[in-house]
Structure 1
Amino acid sequence: MKWLNSVSRLLSDPFKRTIRSKLIVIMISISVIPIIVVTWLATNNTRRAMEQEVIQSNLSRIDWAGDAVNNNFTQLNNLIYTILISPTLAEYTKEDEASLRSQFTIQSNIINTITSVYYSGNNNLVEIQLYYREKNKLFTINDMRNDIQSPPAEPPTWRELITKQADVIIQDSTGTASNFKFIRSINRFENQEKIGSVSLDVKWKMMDNALDLLNSEQEAGVYIVDSSGKLMHQLKERDLPDLKAINLADHGSGFVRTAEHYIFYNQLEPSGLSLIKVLPVSYIDHSAATTQKYGLIVGVASALVAALLAALLAYTVSRPIIRLARSMSGLNWLKAEDVSHLNRQDEIGMLEMRFHTMSSRIREHIRNEYTINLEKQTAQLKALQAQINPHFLQNTLQLIGSMSFSKTPSDIYSIIQSLSDMFRYCLREPGDLATIRAEMKHLSNYMNIQRQRFTGKLTYEADVAPEWEDCRIPKLSLQPLVENAFMHGFDKKKGSWCLKVKVLPYDSGLLISVEDNGIGISPSRLEDVRSRLAEQLDPLWTSGNSIGLYNVSARIKLYFGEEYGIHIENNPGGGTRVSLYIPRVKEGQ
């Protein structure tokens, strides 16, 4: 589930961060989804329309082909009627006995009549047989024979008529699948008693011209089957599918669709045969695929164009909104910025204009407040710089007085010189920033006086590499840190005092560490000091007339930025460490 949530966030985050992505997706969806739906409906409608067209055209064709096949059967039936209505056959079927000579003459006339019909037919006739049951005579006419027989048994065609009690039968020819027999009974006029039969042996090729009407598709199969579904003839070699879905006893024409085929049928009356055309479903799918392919190409192209136009429109609409959002997020409240003139007259243009007007006024107000506050701080700082802590001055003067009784003039002069240098540094050094060299010299003068006050008790160490002495630091930043060590660390500390000042590089800045071995600071007080150092305080002193710890931190942040300042902590071995972080900004930079 974690990877699913990760994927979900990866896909949704761009839409949470910017309105442009949402607008582009919405515009593309509005423009593309209808095209996709219309294309899908059009392709489906194309297939259905093509299916209906194929069905209707094949229903018409199978009716035409059925009429053509029936016409061929009618021609064959007419040939048989020509024989049946001949006077010679009527005379032959009379019941009275004629002389042998007369019978021979009549039989010869029948042969002549059948021969005439045989040759007057068409090239598709293979043979004509006439069987007269009462006299057991079988007349056979073909290209090779022209005779009369008295068969020892009834011909199969006659038995088929009697068995089925049918007037017309069409069946396969014996010995060849390319021919069929068209058989009609000879009925007595008075009572319709069957007294014989006429059989035409015909080539199936006679029906091919009619079946060609159904050969409109290369994949189609065209068949003639009997009432039981047995294959009688086919135009091309094809596998005949299962015809159980069709009731071949039904009259007329129609079609059924199976999972794989369209089956069109036409029941041929009165022959009892059925004309079948089988068309694979894949034919319509393949035929529709080409049209659908071009439809899909047009649909995809339209969708891409619509998506491109929608994305362009969304980008154009969202561009001023994004520009306004970026202007708001990147606004510098202290630095004046150039405002491009906008030509938009709509609500977004008005919003941009009002925002820039408002930001200009806020920036001007902040600049005024900042200038007033800075001037106030500068005046107060300069006033303090002109002063020395009264207690420190009093203690120093008392120190000089006591030294006049016990020290040499050079020792007294050293203290007076240090005090004089401290006054000079506070009063005469220009600017708000000083070099570390100047700060360390000022601190050295301060510590020279303190060492003389606490002779034998105070140890002072300073470690500053020459390469860092030219780096800049707010003026009077180190003395307040050392004063705190005396006021809060050494005041109640028994034994020796040790104070160390180190300047160390870190990353791209400098770390000035002031360490003492005093009594340290309680955890609650340490937490309070740290929280106050982290706050955005007004960079003014907080303890009487001295420049306090918080003031030093605030001035460092004011000059160099929020990433710099002061950090305070207890030493593991006792005492306190105050770390001051500043950038490596040298004099003249």
Structure 2
Amino acid sequence: MRGLMKIYNFLTNPFRRSIRNKLILTMIVLSVAPIIAVTGLAAENSRKSLETEVIQTNLSNMKWTGIYLGEQLTQLNNLIYTILISPQLNDYLFKFEGTDLSSQFAAQKNIVDTLTSVFYSGNHHVVGVELFVKERNKLFAVNGMQIGIASPERTPPPYEELFKEKKDFLIRTTPGDPSKFQLIRSINRFEDREKLGGVSLEVRWALLDQTLTLLRPSEEHAVLIAGPDGRILYPIGTWVPSREAMEKINQLASGTGYLRTKDDYLFYNVIDPWGLKLIKIIPTSFINQSAKKTMQDGFIVGSVSVLISILIAIFLAWRTANPIVRLARSMQGLSLIKETEVPLSNRVDEIGLLETKLHHMSHRIREHIKTEYSMNLEKRTAELKALQAQINPHFLQNTLQLIGSMLFSTNPRDSYEIIKALSDMFRYVIREPGELASIRSEIEHLHNYMRIQKRRFASRLRFAIEVDPDAASGLIPKLTLQPIVENAFIHGLDRKTGDWELNVSVSLQRPDVLIKVQDNGVGIGADRMAELRKQLESLAGQVWTDGERIGLKNVASRIVMHFGPAYGVMLESVPNKGTSVMIRIPFVPKEDSSK
């Protein structure tokens, strides 16, 4: 244990006894840690962003590709319908029962002619057409090699499956030739839906290749078509879904989506009404490799930034600590007043020495507190008086332009109303004495402001105000309501399309007054709302804001200065719904303001 303490003391003594070393270590940690964290987060966010982009893009591509495939299958199905609705097939099935051989031969020839017509009307991807009549046990076949009629010993397998499972259509890969598939549709009696036979088109899968290649921009991706039972009918690429993934996909009856497995992303789209499942497989390594370059660049930049930050931290810490070290050394012989009993410091570095020496100067600092406090009060009073003289220049410019246009387009009385409202606003801001005004005066000032805004936005602005008469005599810091309403226009309503609504209510809730300004603007995001609330909770009484306008923090700060920390401004906002600003002040009637 003693050996460990010696090692600990050996490692920590250089920092315990020197503020310079402490500062260097602190600045290195403060500068390096954020860079490492930001670099790692940026790399992970880059990978997630790429993953999201890949997922969204492929879901969209799967949707549209499914639509195109469905249209191509519908076109093939229409070829079959030309056979099913042909008069030749109807005559053969129902009108030549018991007729002579010549009539039957003519009917069969008509069937062959119909199939031949369909065969040649299809594109070069249709390689064969078959028609099987169950009752007559006749199989008509037309393809590029032959045209024939046969009487098979038993029902051909695809039609047997069609009849046995009572399906209306069937899609399967041609046995012995995976480059082709058969689209088979049953021939049903209209009255009772009995299966009378079937029509089959033999088609090259290449018909769908041009559409499917849209889903396969890389050789690493695999695209395949599976049947309703999950059997793979046509694969493009080498990847095959795992049994677990296929079992999940087989449970899906419709829709578009994706599944994430350990090694792959599987995107699927069930093509209705055929029940075919279009599947695309992207290995997880593809996304990781795509993001790897971005992550490598991020780590390189992060490493360089860390190195530069360390050098800058050491340099700044050295430059910052050197004056403190020199001051500590020079103050060893410095005594501002007669030595008195000094409490011992627990620190052993230069700061400890400064604590001891500066203790002797504390009584002089106390003498300056009152003077400095008075100066601050005078400064804040001067700032407030200058603040009261401000009117947003943009608002003034817009108002003057409004008056100019009204002089040519409206009667003089309307123009005079706007000019008088602007004049009353200037008179209230500049000439009204005192830092506090009655709520009635503040509401009248707000009415003048809204008269101008109502004239500017008459077609889309609805404004309402409700004032409790008992609360109208209460006192409030000047220029409290109009800046908040102006903020509602600038930050909430100006970016909102459609109608604007702005409501102001003043209610007496003894012993307080509650004022609520509510708009239906774009609202405030959660991050910005948290930042504003934190700023409002940590007000230091400052009057000025960073901008040219009287801001929300300024209003809240003046309320705290006049009435104490128990009062102030509260915010509520719902994005895309609106923002509410609540002001709570004590009810101080104007006649009692001198008390």
The TM tier, using the shorter chain, reads: 0.5 to 0.7
CA contact (8 A) 1:130 1:197 kept: yes
Pairwise CA distance, 1:180: 1.3
1:41-62 C-alpha deviation (Å, 9 max, x unpaired): 2222222111111100000011
Matches within 5 A, 1:84-95: 84-95=84-95
Matches within 5 A, 1:504-583: none
Partner of 2:553: none
User: Alpha carbons of 1:21 and 1:139: their partners in 2 closer, same or farther (altered >3 Å)?
Assistant: same
User: Alpha carbons of 1:287 and 1:150: their partners in 2 closer, same or farther (altered >3 Å)?
Assistant: same
Partner of 2:316: 313
1:159 and 2:160 are equivalent in the alignment: yes
1:133-188 C-alpha deviation (Å, 9 max, x unpaired): 11111001111110111111111121111111100001121111121111100112
Q: In angstroms, what is the RMSD of aligned CA positions?
A: 2.6
User: Alpha carbons of 1:84 and 1:30: their partners in 2 closer, same or farther (altered >3 Å)?
Assistant: same
Partner of 1:445: none
Alignment counterpart, residue 288 of structure 1, candidates 267, 278, 291: 291
Partner of 1:534: none
In structure 2, distance between residues paired with 1:134 and 1:171: 24
Letter in 1 for 2:295: Q
Letter in 2 for 1:139: F
Partner of 1:65: 65
Pairwise CA distance, 1:245: 3.3
Alignment counterpart, residue 251 of structure 1, candidates 235, 247, 254: 254
Pairwise CA distance, 1:81: 0.8
Partner of 1:279: 282
In structure 2, distance between residues paired with 1:16 and 1:285: 46
CA contact (8 A) 2:228 2:250 kept: no
Partner of 2:74: 74
Partner of 1:104: 105
Partner of 1:231: 232
In structure 1, distance between residues paired with 2:113 and 2:228: 36
Letter in 2 for 1:322: V
TM-score by length of 1: 0.54
1:352-372 C-alpha deviation (Å, 9 max, x unpaired): xx99xxxxxxxxxxxxxxxxx
Partner of 1:12: 12
Pairwise CA distance, 1:227: 2.5
Partner of 2:134: 133
Partner of 1:143: 144
User: Alpha carbons of 1:29 and 1:226: their partners in 2 closer, same or farther (altered >3 Å)?
Assistant: same
In structure 2, distance between residues paired with 1:3 and 1:205: 79
Alignment counterpart, residue 298 of structure 1, candidates 289, 301, 306: 301
Pairwise CA distance, 1:298: 2.2
User: Alpha carbons of 1:203 and 1:8: their partners in 2 closer, same or farther (altered >3 Å)?
Assistant: farther
Pairwise CA distance, 1:208: 1.1
CA contact (8 A) 2:253 2:275 kept: no
1:539-559 C-alpha deviation (Å, 9 max, x unpaired): xxxxxxxxxxxxxxxxxxxxx
Q: Secondary structure at the match of 1:115?
A: helix
Letter in 1 for 2:101: L
Pairwise CA distance, 1:327: 7.0
Letter in 2 for 1:315: W
Pairwise CA distance, 1:209: 1.2
Partner of 1:240: 241
In structure 2, distance between residues paired with 1:61 and 1:108: 46
Partner of 1:217: 218
1:176-211 C-alpha deviation (Å, 9 max, x unpaired): 112111110011223222101011111111111121
CA contact (8 A) 2:219 2:237 kept: no
Stretch deviating more after TM superposition (7-16 or 129-138): 7-16
In structure 2, distance between residues paired with 1:5 and 1:129: 93
User: Alpha carbons of 1:226 and 1:3: their partners in 2 closer, same or farther (altered >3 Å)?
Assistant: farther
In structure 2, distance between residues paired with 1:212 and 1:46: 27
Letter in 2 for 1:262: Y
1:485-541 C-alpha deviation (Å, 9 max, x unpaired): xxxxxxxxxxxxxxxxxxxxxxxxxxxxxxxxxxxxxxxxxxxxxxxxxxxxxxxxx
CA contact (8 A) 1:248 1:267 kept: no
In structure 2, distance between residues paired with 1:132 and 1:157: 13
In structure 2, distance between residues paired with 1:244 and 1:153: 34
CA contact (8 A) 2:181 2:203 kept: yes
Letter in 1 for 2:194: E
User: Alpha carbons of 1:38 and 1:191: their partners in 2 closer, same or farther (altered >3 Å)?
Assistant: same
Q: Secondary structure at the match of 1:28?
A: helix
Highest CA radius of gyration, 1 or 2? 1
In structure 2, distance between residues paired with 1:158 and 1:283: 43
Q: Secondary structure at the match of 2:203?
A: strand
Partner of 1:115: 116
Instruction: Give the gaps of 5 or more residues in structure 1.
Output: 331-346, 356-589
Pairwise CA distance, 1:36: 2.0
In structure 2, distance between residues paired with 1:303 and 1:177: 58
CA contact (8 A) 1:254 1:265 kept: yes
In structure 2, distance between residues paired with 1:159 and 1:326: 105
Letter in 1 for 2:139: L
Pairwise CA distance, 1:259: 1.7
Letter in 1 for 2:67: D
Pairwise CA distance, 1:228: 2.8
In structure 1, distance between residues paired with 2:4 and 2:181: 73
Pairwise CA distance, 1:328: 8.5
TM-score by length of 2: 0.53
Partner of 1:200: 201
Instruction: Give the gaps of 5 or more residues in structure 2.
Output: 334-349, 359-595
Q: Secondary structure at the match of 1:171?
A: strand
Letter in 1 for 2:26: I
Pairwise CA distance, 1:326: 6.5
1:433-470 C-alpha deviation (Å, 9 max, x unpaired): xxxxxxxxxxxxxxxxxxxxxxxxxxxxxxxxxxxxxx
CA contact (8 A) 1:223 1:277 kept: yes
In structure 2, distance between residues paired with 1:13 and 1:218: 61
Pairwise CA distance, 1:2: 6.9
1:302-341 C-alpha deviation (Å, 9 max, x unpaired): 23222222221111011223345677999xxxxxxxxxxx
Letter in 1 for 2:287: I
Pairwise CA distance, 1:14: 2.4
Partner of 1:541: none
In structure 2, distance between residues paired with 1:131 and 1:69: 27
